[in-house]
Amino acid sequence: MPKLSQWKFGIDFERIGWLTIDTPSAPVNVLSTTAILELEKLVARFEDLAASDELVGVVLLSSKGSGFIAGADITEFDDLSDPVEMTKALRRAHALFDRIERLPIPFVSGIHGFCLGGGLELALATHYRIAVNNDKTRIGFPEVKLGIFPGFGGTGRSMNVMGPVPAMQIMLTGKYLRAGAARGMGLVDKLVRHRDQLRWEARKAILQKRKSKPAGFTKRVMAMGPLRKFIADKMRATVKKKVRPEHYPAPFSLIELFEDKGNDPVAMRAGEIERFPKLMDSGTAANLRRLFFLSEGLKKQGVRKPPKPKFARVHVIGAGVMGGDIAAWCAYRGLAVTLQDLDMERIQPALDRAKKLFKKRLKKPIAVNAAMARLEADVAGKGAARADVIIEAVVENLEIKQKIFAQVESVAKPGAVLATNTSSIELERIAEDLKDPSRLVGLHFFNPVAQLPLVEVVRSKVNSDLAIRTGCSFASFIGKSPVVVKSAPGFLVNRVLMPYLLKSIERVEAGEAQELLDAAAVAFGMPMGPIELMDVVGLDVGHSVANELGQPVAEDSKFARLLAQGNLGRKTGRGFYRWTKGRAEKGSVPEHSNLAELGRELVQPLVDECEVCVKEGIVSSADMADIGVILGTGFAPFLGGPLKARQDGKA
Ligand code: T1G
């Protein structure tokens, strides 16, 4: 047997080969160059042993608790930017996976946890796939989130078993499937209830020589003849609603490949090798890769050394939009939540909103009811005494917040996190009368809580490292991305967003068409234009944030007039735009020679303010400013964030 560092292999008395992957000193398995080279040697041995009838089948498993394989090793991508080297590496992987597929003995994959990217492509090259049917199993192709698409043969093989349309959908969206959905769509052939059943089920599959079935004709027909062009055009139109080809070329390149070769899985796979290197070498791929690692880094800001904090119970004070949605999110993530306000009349709307979220996200009534059972109305505030985390999200009034924390501090468990969701009042002032002001941190969520991943963990001058780390641990624990910011007006996101929004509104006040400015910002790479965003945020919110930043809205302005008339934006049906069914009614966009350039001009105040924030230590680095602003505002991820874009001369 070859010398192995990434794999273990042994043959049992029934001549079944048991192959396990275990990437050394890594929390997840990845297909590194070394792993591929060692697998090549192993497959050569399998071919010999099969020929001499010493091997009747191979089972591939992972020995890591976290999951199967998380894909190719992204840390190697920067060294593979040379297209010639990349093409060689791809050819090698394709040849290897083809040999696995052609092995004359059954090769079965046993999947638990994550099975992603190149890991899924390897599983697709084997003959039969068994997965554990629990909540941890996630199967998919996240490549498009890295500015590329599957490059180890996954395009053709996934189309073969799923049919072209479902396969293209999961490759274009990067969506992870749960086990049941993967089984229903043909990516997986068999489900088991527990990980320890994988071996037994795989042994049966080997002995019965089970093979995966290709997708039926009714699915495959979608890739034939004129239908394929029709489908490709529909896919292009759908993707265009979300991203532009000049910003994110990968999905459009994949659709082109499908249009060109979608009726021939082998040609589809070969087409990957032609297209992949150019995508890998793009600025978009490099920037998205950097953002992946920055996001991973955010997970490490929590408490690293034992005793690690435990979060079972959360008490939220304030059942308004933010408080209610924070409480709902925590219950959705499995915590026991008590939601306090002055009376049930104030709490009930939050419970109703929570039920809508649970129905949308959890779907099954049993799961929805369980989540509702975790979210308890608590007018008396009894939950505060047993909570691990207490979050205040009441009106932006200093005296009320001080009163709440004085009361909370007297009942809270030692070590419980005391947090405020304030977006404007400095922590030092809220905490000034506490016995231990160092306990109070800011956990600034963004509206809508269920959609926006960022939580600004606000650090005051008196916070302890432990309090901040515990706040970050909690944010990560509920599936959010924590960015630590200094307690100063507007923290990071509102601080950089406001000058951009206000300057754009000034240009509208001076006579420029709001539709033009909004279209320009989107052409640059913003998810939404500044005027539309102000309507969505709400003119009342914008006005109060502008005041706290010392950039008050001019009295004799259209903004002030709209405010005075109660036209607050989307929530009242009228702001700078009229709104119908949640959509802005926009006029036509006036002609402009270079919309993207105008958009770049519009975001200058935002980028300038990011530079000031780094200088003032609002965030610890330009990287944190980039990831924070992207997660908080959706700023052009393909440009790597405001400061990376400026460094590259793009903003
Ligand atoms: N390569 C290298 N490192 C990886 C990795 C990968 N694919 N996936 C995860 N890691 C590291 C990560 O940086 C972190 O490291 C640790 O593992 C995970 O800890 C040819 C070309 C799998 C859902 O895009 O989405 O295959 O910081 O706390 O929260 O077509 O990591 O601890 O040192 O994040 O449970 C496609 C990316 C690659 C998957 C686990 N695959 N990974 O999240 O754990 S491209 C991906 C994730 C590809 C082929 C193409 C997540 C996770 P460290 P963690 P987690």
CB-CB neighbours of 135 under 10 Å:
10
Is 525:585 a contact under the CB 8 Å cutoff? no
Average pLDDT score, the chain:
96
Beta-carbon contacts of residue 466 (< 8 Å; ≥ 6 apart) = 303
The tokens describing 576, both together, are 């700078």
Q: Is the CB of 97 under 6 A from ligand 1?
A: no
CA gap 374, 331 in Å, rounded:
6
H-type alpha helices, 20-145: 33-51, 83-102, 118-125
Is 355:372 a contact under the CB 8 Å cutoff? yes
| pLDDT over 90 (residue 193) | yes
Q: Is the CB of 150 under 6 A from ligand 1?
A: yes
| Arithmetic mean of pLDDT, 108-115 | 98
Task: Name the CATH superfamily, with its identifier, for domain 308-487.
Answer: NAD(P)-binding Rossmann-like Domain (3.40.50.720)
Portion of the chain with pLDDT greater than 70, in percent: 100
CA 437 to chain centre: 34
CATH number of 7-286: 3.90.226.10
CA separation (Å) from 34 to 142, 183, 480, 634? 22, 31, 34, 36
Please list the residue range(s) of the chain that carry CATH number 3.90.226.10.
7-286
Q: Is the CB of 152 under 6 A from ligand 1?
A: yes
| Arithmetic mean of pLDDT, 625-649 | 97
- What is the tens place of the pLDDT at every residue in 586-622? 999 999 999 999 999 999 999 999 999 999 999 999 9
Please list the residue range(s) of the chain that carry CATH number 3.40.50.720.
308-487
Portion of the chain with pLDDT greater than 90, in percent: 92
Please list the residue range(s) of the chain that carry CATH number 1.10.1040.50.
494-647
Specify the amino acid at residue 76: E
Least confident of 165-174, 542-551, 566-575: 542-551
One-character DSSP codes across 637-649: GGGTSHHHHHHTT
- What is the tens place of the pLDDT at every residue in 41-80? 999 999 999 999 999 999 999 999 999 999 999 999 988 8
CA gap 306, 283 in Å, rounded:
40
Specify the amino acid at residue 18: W
Name the helix (H) or strand (E) containing 448: none
**Atom 11, ligand 1: residue with shortest CA distance:** 28
Q: Is the CB of 73 under 6 A from ligand 1?
A: yes
Question: Which ligand 1 atom sits nearest the alpha carbon of residue 149?
Answer: 30
Q: What is the DSSP letter of 115?
A: E
Name the helix (H) or strand (E) containing 108: strand 107-111
Pairing relationship of beta strands 7-11 and 16-21 according to DSSP bridges: antiparallel
CA 378 to chain centre: 32
Q: What is the pLDDT of residue 426?
A: 86
28 CA to centre of ligand 1 in angstroms: 7
Question: Which ligand 1 atom sits nearest the alpha carbon of residue 297?
Answer: 27
CA gap 290, 288 in Å, rounded:
5
**Which residues is 287 bridged to in the sheet?**
none
One-character DSSP codes across 519-587: HHHHHHT-SS-HHHHHHHH-HHHHHHHHHHTT-PPPTTSHHHHHHHTT--BGGGTBSSSEEETTEEE--
114 CA to centre of ligand 1 in angstroms: 9
**Which residues is 418 bridged to in the sheet?**
390, 440
100 CA to centre of ligand 1 in angstroms: 24
Question: Which ligand 1 atom sits nearest the alpha carbon of residue 152?
Answer: 20
The tokens describing 448, both together, are 């809508």
Q: Is the CB of 174 under 6 A from ligand 1?
A: no
Pairing relationship of beta strands 440-445 and 454-459 according to DSSP bridges: antiparallel
| Arithmetic mean of pLDDT, 499-520 | 96
Is 322:396 a contact under the CB 8 Å cutoff? no
Q: Is the CB of 71 under 6 A from ligand 1?
A: yes
CB-CB neighbours of 236 under 10 Å:
16
| pLDDT over 80 (residue 296) | yes
Please state at what angle helix 83-102 crosses helix 33-51, rounded to 10 degrees. Answer: 30
Q: Is the CB of 525 under 6 A from ligand 1?
A: no
Q: How confident is the model at residue 396 (pLDDT cuts 50, 70, 90)?
A: confident
- What is the tens place of the pLDDT at every residue in 397-418? 999 999 999 999 999 999 999 9
Catalytic residue IDs? 444
Q: What is the pLDDT of residue 477?
A: 97
Pocket test for ligand 1, best of 86, 139, 296, 477 (most atoms within 8 A of CB): 296
CATH fold of 494-647:
N-(1-d-carboxylethyl)-l-norvaline Dehydrogenase; domain 2 (1.10.1040)
